[in-house]
Amino acid sequence: MREMLEGGQLDYLTGDYLAELTMLILGKDTMKDASLGYAKTFVRQVEDCLGLALERGVKIVSNAGGLNPAGLADKLREVASGLGLDPAIAHVEGDDVRALGFADALTANAYLGGFGIAAALQAGADIVVTGRVTDASLVVGPAVAHHGWTPTSYDELAGAVVAGHVLECGCQATGGNFSGFRSLPHTGQPLGFPLAEIAADGSSVITKHDGTGGAVTVDTVTAQLLYEIQSTRYLNPDVTTLLDTVELSQAGPDRVSITGVRGEAPPERLKVCVNELGGFRNTVELVLTGLDIDAKADWVREQLAPALTAAEVTWTRSALPPLDADTEEGASALLRCTVKDAKPDPVGRGFTAAAVELALASYPGFTMTAPPAAPTPFGIYRAEYVDRSAVTHTVVHADGRREVVPDPPERSSADPAAGRRPSPYPARPDSLTRRAPLGSFVHARSGDKGGDANLGLWVVHDGSEQYDARVTWLAKLITPRKVRELVPEAADLDVEVHVLPNLGGVNVLIRGLLGDGVAASTRFDPQAKGLGEWVRSRMVNIQEDLL
C-alpha cells in the first residue's frame, strides 16, 4: 500500500483480498471469534498508510471486509482515532445470503457489483470496505463515481470490468506468473503493481509507477485478462462484458491501451460463493528409489490397504525417475496416499501408524517425506445462483445512514453454450510439420474457478510476420478433443473452448478437474496454477513455416 501511495499519482487505491479459499478461512475465523471475519493484514496496512493517503487525497477501496465489513469499518475507525485522524469510512453489506436456503453452509455470499461502492464514494467516503463483491467491482465502483455513469452505461461499465480484471491480481499483470518471464527486464527491482487510467468512455491504459520492476506489455496484460475467466460473455453484477470485443495495443513503454470493449445488460441472477465443512483429511508421502518403482508401489499399496477405512482414498505417484541418475533424489519417485472422511478417526492415527509400522517390513529403501500428522479439516466450495431481487445490496455511509442500491433496470439471460466451439477431428495438415512444444510461440496462464480449471492460451507478440497465421493455427488446434489429448485426466470431463481472435488466443474451461475446489482437492496442483506451463511443454505437430 505504501509503495503505491509513494510511487506516483493515484486517485483511488484498490485492494482485492478475497479468493474463494479466503472466504473459507475467514469462516473458520468467525467460528472461533464472531468479531473477526475480515482481513487483518488490511488493518495493519491502513494503520501504516492512512495519514499519507488522506494527505494525498487518495480514496481507499477494498473487499477486505470479508464476512464482517461492519466489523472492519469499526476497527478502522478505532485505528484512525488512535492516529488522531478522522476519515469518513463507509461499508457495503448485503452479500451474506445464508438465509436464502444456505443455512447449513459455513459461508454463502453473493457477488455484488460496484454501484454500492460508487454511492459511498459520491457521498464523500475516504475509505470504502466491502464484503463479497466481484474483484472487478473494486475498480468499477470508483470509475462510476468519478465519471457519473448510469446502470445502462454498458460499454463504459464493461471497459471498467476489463480494467478491474487486469488489476485484481496485482503483479500478475506486470510479469508475475508469466510464461514469457525471460523477456522481462531484469532490473533487480520487485515487480511493480499495475495501474489503470480509465477514461470517460470506458477505455483505459494499463501502466505502472516509474522505477518499478517488471513490464506492462500486450502479453503481460493478455496473461491476466485470460486468467480465471469462462466464456467470452463475462458475467458481472453490473454488466455482461463481451470479452471477444477487447482490443489491446502497446501505447508506449509500460503502457497498454484497452479499447473497443462492449457490454450488455447484466444477468438476472447473482453468483453465490458457498463454502461448507467437508470433513477431515490426511496424507502420507512415501519415497520410492532406484529400480522396480512400480513393483515397490504395488507392494506398499497392498500392505496399506487393510488400514484404509476412510470414505475416500486417493493414490498418486510422480513420474518414473531416469535410470542411472547422478543423485539419489533424481533416482526417486514420490507415492502419495490422501484419505478423506466425514469423521477424523478413519484418517487419524490408525492410518498414519499403519504406514510408519511398515518401515522395516516393506519395500527396500522405505522412507517418508514427513512425520505422521494429525487430521486436518477441509472445506467444499460450490457455486450457486440467486435472484438478485432477493439480495439487499446496502451501503452504510460514514454517518450511519443506510442506502439500498437499486437493481439494474434491464437484465439478460446468458446462453451457457454461447461461443463454445465444436470438437471436430483435426484435418490432415496441408504442409510440412515438425514435432515441437506447444509453447514454442504460445504463452499460457491457468488457474481455478471453484472446481473447474481455466487455461488461457495465446500467441506471443514477438514481432513475427507469422503472427496472424499462428493465431489461425492455434484456434484450429485447440478443440475439446485436443485438450483431452493434451490433458489426459480430462478425458471424461466436460471441456469448453472459447476463441478470442482479438487477443490471438483461446480460453479453455475444464469442468470438475479440481473436484470440490482447492480446499478439498487431492490433485497434485489443486489450483491448476501450473497447468498452463505443463500444456505448453506438450509436443504437438506445428507447421514448419510457423516455427
What is the distance in angstroms between the CA of the first residue and the CA of the last residue of the chain?
A: 43
Angle value at C-alpha 190, between 186 and 193, nearest 5 degrees: 115
Indicate the SS3 state at residue 284: strand
Task: Name the pTM for this structure.
Answer: 0.93
pLDDT score, position 498: 94
Is residue 347 within 8 A of residue 282, CB to CB? The reply is yes
Is residue 241 within 8 A of residue 460, CB to CB? The reply is no
Residue type at position 183: S
Q: What structural domains and CATH numbers belong to the chain?
A: 156-264 (no CATH), 274-379 (3.30.70), 433-546 (no CATH)
pLDDT score, position 479: 94
Exposed, middle or buried: residue 241 (CB in 10 Å: 0-12, 13-18, 19+)? buried
pLDDT score, position 152: 98
Q: Provide φ and ψ at 407, rounded to 5°.
A: -70, 150
pLDDT score, position 430: 60
CA gap 76, 89 in Å, rounded: 8
pLDDT score, position 187: 78
Indicate the SS3 state at residue 369: coil
395 CB neighbour count, 10 Å cutoff:
26
Q: Provide φ and ψ at 28, rounded to 5°.
A: -65, -35
What tens digit of pLDDT does each residue of 116-172 get? 999 999 999 999 999 999 999 999 999 999 999 999 999 999 999 999 999 999 999
The alpha helices in 421-497, defined as continuous H runs, are: 467-477, 480-486
Instruction: Collect all residues with Cβ–Cβ distance below 8 Å to 491 and sequence separation of at least 6.
Output: 484
CA gap 380, 205 in Å, rounded: 38
Would you state the cell numbers that stand for residue 351, as one nine-digit string?
492410518
How would you classify the pairing of strands 240-242 and 233-235? antiparallel
CA gap 19, 172 in Å, rounded: 15
pLDDT score, position 274: 96
**E-assigned strand segments in 405-494:** 433-437, 442-449, 452-459
Exposed, middle or buried: residue 405 (CB in 10 Å: 0-12, 13-18, 19+)? buried
pLDDT score, position 462: 94
pLDDT score, position 423: 57
Strand partners, 242: 233, 262
Q: Which of 223, 217, 167, 170 is nearest to 445 (CA)?
A: 223
Strand partners, 15: 62
pLDDT score, position 67: 97
Per-residue pLDDT of the chain (547 residues; tens, 9 = 90+): 999 999 999 999 999 999 888 999 999 999 999 999 999 999 999 999 999 999 999 999 999 999 999 999 999 999 999 999 999 999 999 999 999 999 999 999 999 999 999 999 999 999 999 999 999 999 999 999 999 999 999 999 999 999 999 999 999 999 999 999 999 998 788 999 999 999 999 999 999 999 999 999 999 999 999 998 988 999 999 999 999 999 999 999 999 999 999 999 999 999 999 999 999 999 999 999 999 999 999 999 999 999 999 999 999 999 999 999 999 999 999 999 999 999 999 999 999 999 999 999 999 999 999 999 999 999 999 999 999 999 999 999 999 999 999 999 999 887 766 667 665 555 555 678 899 999 999 999 999 989 999 999 999 999 999 999 999 999 999 999 999 999 999 999 999 999 999 999 999 999 999 999 988 898 989 999 999 999 999 999 999 999 9
